[in-house]
């Protein structure tokens, strides 16, 4: 029986190289197979060429023909000729590895537990000749060490001496180590932008081949972009034939789209957030400008620091990678593509696979008109006790299954059966995650069910996405309409049982009920009867207190922990002094901080007015949405708008890249320079000994006034109170029926 597929690469001749598991601790087995490349095309879009055949497809649709070629060379020649002739209506799946997986219905890692994935974490330490940030393009800057961690065991490749010859030898050692270890994945934090790109530039300088791939292949680099929520991150992508590069820096940002709890994406803070490193761990810390000195003067500390970086990288990947690992067991896709591609593109591949094997005509993605979204409403303002949360399990997918209606252009009727099958898989693995006899089995099942949950919930979003081949805006609108009706019936049901409704959002309801706080299951049983068969209401948590600020923005107290929801309360663009003030306010309102933030507010006013507040507390951090060089060209050509963060980035050396954070502050207004973008300075320019670099106290005092406009009522403080702020006694915020109160 064939071993699990652990690596896949299609070469320029169309040969399919595979690496398969041959046994635990045994080298991967390499095989060569064949690809018969194909494309969909509209009727008569382009005539066949040498070695190319055209097969008519069944049914109606835009793509009514399937084009096959005997060799990849013949296929690429035909496709190039079609593009040169201006032919339209041709659809080719890329990368070619997905074509082969789709054709053969094969899947990477199928049958392979996550524990048997051969993983390698990578981290490098570098030196700077002039004390600035280490730059691989500078001849005197260089790699000091390359750390590798495979199966929990570290291997340190350390520069013998600070010479070009020694660095060249070090890069050769790295090539040999990868060949020996033969990992399926190479994982690192910011590995694309820093580690691999730095190694690439140093290897080029010393004429060392980038022999990092399988099958005797070299690494390939190209500029790429990843969309993270509403912004784009650009990075120098590295592809290794037969292996996967995993950048936990990018995975963390994708994770934080929904979590929105991280204040930054650096490895150290991320490791603490995920519990990889705790206060009890003896973690070695070195400032960036102290690393080279440690290499020269305290080698043990230098190695310990590198080892901790590797350990933390593995720990973060342990949390985030299993979801993508399980996804590739479902989709005809490479692991690296799964980590860098959106859900709609993955789901499309599942449909294309079915249509390919059925020889069925395919549609083009339809335009989807805007439609009304889910139920969202804030019912109360203030602080409330005895809070319960209930939600409908996978509301939209459950409604889709209840409606049993496929998208209108899904001629094969693939959508609902596929959704139903995935839901059954998820329920099976969810049960194993609870009852499996072995801890490893339960962990594996938990990762699988979580992956299926994400996938299942993506089906509804797929319907409303204009780029989805089988999108259907009318069906998506009907689902949301039914969802709103269902949520309203639950709200009415909870209210009939005496509960005070606080917040409702899409599929969940927060309420206050002293009577049912200690027995939420009893309330659940009474209200769940209102739902149709197949729709399940779940009790999702109890909270001793909840602060309702405004719609979709609230704070929950769970023991000594505070959970924030909503961009108004969690925005990473808020300056630290305001963020700290808001955190103090929330903890005070929820009963975790006895002292009101009013004294802190007055202290901030005094310190800012005297310019004694630390500049870092006032500076704003923003992610660049454009490369500084591109922004500079845009502005030179008369483009707008001007951005403070981008202007600050232009003053930095080296200039940061799009997707990186820039921290800046504002200097006082002068004649002709009143806008923020004109006054923005990178934080490195501030110098207490140079008055011209001072921050604008007036601007930051006005920001305190703005903060008071938003939150002052909750602590009885009026805005516009001068230097110290006019403070009033705290005003109780008591909700209807007396169920809410200020702590």
Backbone angles phi, psi at 333, to 5 degrees: -150, 150
| Residue-wise pLDDT tens digits, 26-83 | 889 999 999 999 999 999 999 999 999 999 999 999 999 999 999 999 999 999 999 9
Give dist(CA 266, CA 271) in Å, integer: 9
Other C-beta atoms closer than 10 Å to the C-beta of 446 total 17
Which residues sit opposite 541 in a β-bridge?
Answer: 389
Q: Do 35 and 76 meet the contact criterion of CB atoms below 8 Å apart? A: no
Three-state DSSP string of 624-640: CCCCHHHHHHHHHCCCC
Which residues sit opposite 663 in a β-bridge?
Answer: 621
Token pair, residue 668, equals: 């006082």
Cβ-based neighbours of 476, under 8 Å, separated by 6 or more: 368, 371, 460, 463, 464
Q: Do 96 and 37 meet the contact criterion of CB atoms below 8 Å apart? A: yes
Question: Starting from the edge strand earliest in sequence, which strands make up the sheet with 620-623, in order?
Answer: 620-623, 661-666, 680-682
Which residue is associated with the tokens 């949360």? 389
Closest listed residue to residue 146, CA positions, set 164, 167, 125: 125
Cβ-based neighbours of 524, under 8 Å, separated by 6 or more: 390, 537, 538, 539
Q: Do 624 and 656 meet the contact criterion of CB atoms below 8 Å apart? A: yes
Q: How far is CA 293 from CA 125, 134, 288, 421, in A?
A: 12, 14, 10, 58
3 state SS of 443: helix
Q: Do 542 and 556 meet the contact criterion of CB atoms below 8 Å apart? A: no
3 state SS of 571: coil
3 state SS of 569: helix
What pLDDT was estimated at residue 282? 84
Which residues sit opposite 562 in a β-bridge?
Answer: 557
Q: Do 195 and 212 meet the contact criterion of CB atoms below 8 Å apart? A: no
3 state SS of 587: helix
What pLDDT was estimated at residue 719? 52
Gyration radius of the chain over CA positions:
29
Three-state DSSP string of 152-216: CEEEEEECCCCCHHHHHHHHHHHHHHHHHHCCCEEEECCHHHHHHHHHHHHHHHHCCCCCCCCCC
Q: Low-confidence residues of the chain, pLDDT below 70? A: 1-2, 260, 263, 659, 717-743
Which residue is associated with the tokens 């806008």? 675
What pLDDT was estimated at residue 227? 86
| Residue-wise pLDDT tens digits, 495-532 | 999 999 999 988 899 999 999 999 999 999 999 999 99
| Residue-wise pLDDT tens digits, 532-544 | 988 999 999 999 9
Which residue is associated with the tokens 């010859």? 165
H or E stretch at 306: helix 299-327
What pLDDT was estimated at residue 291? 92
What sign for the dihedral angle of Cα 590, 591, 596, 597? negative
End-to-end CA, the chain:
66
Closest listed residue to residue 523, CA positions, set 389, 398, 384, 399: 389
- Supply the DSSP string of 262-297, one letter for each residue: -S---HHHHHHHTTSS-TTS------GGGHHHHHHH
Closest listed residue to residue 101, CA positions, set 327, 271, 294: 327
Going along the chain from its start, the domains and CATH numbers come out as 97-107+333-364+411-465 (no CATH), 114-327 (3.30.420.10), 365-408+472-572 (3.90.1600.10), 612-694 (3.40.1820.20)
Helices (H) and strands (E) in the chain, counts: 23, 24
Backbone angles phi, psi at 220, to 5 degrees: -125, 130
Closest listed residue to residue 550, CA positions, set 364, 314, 672, 713: 713
What pLDDT was estimated at residue 710? 92
Token pair, residue 244, equals: 């996967």
Give dist(CA 63, CA 364) in Å, integer: 7
């Amino acid at each position: 029986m064939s071993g699990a597929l652990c690596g896949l690469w299609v070469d320029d001749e169309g040969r399919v190289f595979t690496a398969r598991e041959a046994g635990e601790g045994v080298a991967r087995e390499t095989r060569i197979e064949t690809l018969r490349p194909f494309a969909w095309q509209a009727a008569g879009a382009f005539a066949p060429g040498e070695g190319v055949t055209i097969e008519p497809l069944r049914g109606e649709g835009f793509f009514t023909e399937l084009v096959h070629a005997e060799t990849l060379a013949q296929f690429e020649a035909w496709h190039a000729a079609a593009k040169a002739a201006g032919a339209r209506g041709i659809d080719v799946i890329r990368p070619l590895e997905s074509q082969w997986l789709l054709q053969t219905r094969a899947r990477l890692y199928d049958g392979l537990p996550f524990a048997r994935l051969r993983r390698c974490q990578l981290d490098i330490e570098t030196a700077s000749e002039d004390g600035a940030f280490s730059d691989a393009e500078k001849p005197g800057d260089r790699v000091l060490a390359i750390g590798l961690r495979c199966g929990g065991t570290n291997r340190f490749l350390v520069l013998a001496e600070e010479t070009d010859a020694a660095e060249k030898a070090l890069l050769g050692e790295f090539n040999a180590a990868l060949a020996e270890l033969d990992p399926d994945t190479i994982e690192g934090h910011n590995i694309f932008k820093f580690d691999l790109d730095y190694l690439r530039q140093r290897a080029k300088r010393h004429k060392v081949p980038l022999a990092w791939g399988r099958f005797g292949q070299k690494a390939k680099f190209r500029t790429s972009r990843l969309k993270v929520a509403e912004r784009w991150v650009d990075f120098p992508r590295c592809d290794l034939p037969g292996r996967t590069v995993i950048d936990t820096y990018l995975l963390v940002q994708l994770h934080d789209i929904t979590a929105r709890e991280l204040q930054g994406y650096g490895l150290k803070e991320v490791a603490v957030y995920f519990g990889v490193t705790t206060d009890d761990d003896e973690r070695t810390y070195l400032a960036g400008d102290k690393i080279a000195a440690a290499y020269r003067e305290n080698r043990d500390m230098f190695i310990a620091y590198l080892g901790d970086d590797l350990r933390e990288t593995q720990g973060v990947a342990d949390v985030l990678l299993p979801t993508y690992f399980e996804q590739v067991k479902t989709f005809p896709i490479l692991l690296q593509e799964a980590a860098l591609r959106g859900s709609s593109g993955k789901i499309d591949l599942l449909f294309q696979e079915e249509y390919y094997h059925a020889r069925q005509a395919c549609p083009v993605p339809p335009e989807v008109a805007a439609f009304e979204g889910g139920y969202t409403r804030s019912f109360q303002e203030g602080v409330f006790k005895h809070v319960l949360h209930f939600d409908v399990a996978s509301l939209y997918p459950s409604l889709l299954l209840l409606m049993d209606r496929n998208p209108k252009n899904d001629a094969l009727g693939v959508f609902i059966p596929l959704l139903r099958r995935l839901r059954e898989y998820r329920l099976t693995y969810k049960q194993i995650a609870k009852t499996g006899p072995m801890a490893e089995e339960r962990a594996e099942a938990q990762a699988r069910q979580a992956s299926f949950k994400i996938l299942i919930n993506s089906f509804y979003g797929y319907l409303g996405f204009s780029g989805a081949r089988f999108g259907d805006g009318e069906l998506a609108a009907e689902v949301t309409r039914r969802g709103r009706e269902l949520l309203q019936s639950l709200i009415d049901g909870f209210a009939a049982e005496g509960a005070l409704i606080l917040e409702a959002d899409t599929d969940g309801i927060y309420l206050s009920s002293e009577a049912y706080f200690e027995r939420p299951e009893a309330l659940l049983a009474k209200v769940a009867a209102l739902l149709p068969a197949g729709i399940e209401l779940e009790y999702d948590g109890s909270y001793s207190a909840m602060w309702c600020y405004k719609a979709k923005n609230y704070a929950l107290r769970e023991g000594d922990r505070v959970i924030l929801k909503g961009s108004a309360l969690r925005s990473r663009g808020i300056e630290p002094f305001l963020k700290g003030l808001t955190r103090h306010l929330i903890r005070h309102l929820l009963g975790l901080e006895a002292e009101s933030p009013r004294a802190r507010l007055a202290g901030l006013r005094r310190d800012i007015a005297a310019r004694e507040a630390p500049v870092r507390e006032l500076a704003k951090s923003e992610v660049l949405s454009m490369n500084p060089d591109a922004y500079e060209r845009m502005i030179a050509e008369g483009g707008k708008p001007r951005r403070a963060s981008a202007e600050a980035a232009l003053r930095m050396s080296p200039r940061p890249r799009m997707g990186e954070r820039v921290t800046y502050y504002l200097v006082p207004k002068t004649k002709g320079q009143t806008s923020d973008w004109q006054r923005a300075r990178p934080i490195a320019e501030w110098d207490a000994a140079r008055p011209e670099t001072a921050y604008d106290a007036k601007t930051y005092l006005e920001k305190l006034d703005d903060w008071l406009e938003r939150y002052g009522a909750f602590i009885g403080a009026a805005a516009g109170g001068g230097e110290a702020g006019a403070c009033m006694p705290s005003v109780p915020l008591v909700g209807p029926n007396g169920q809410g109160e200020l702590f």
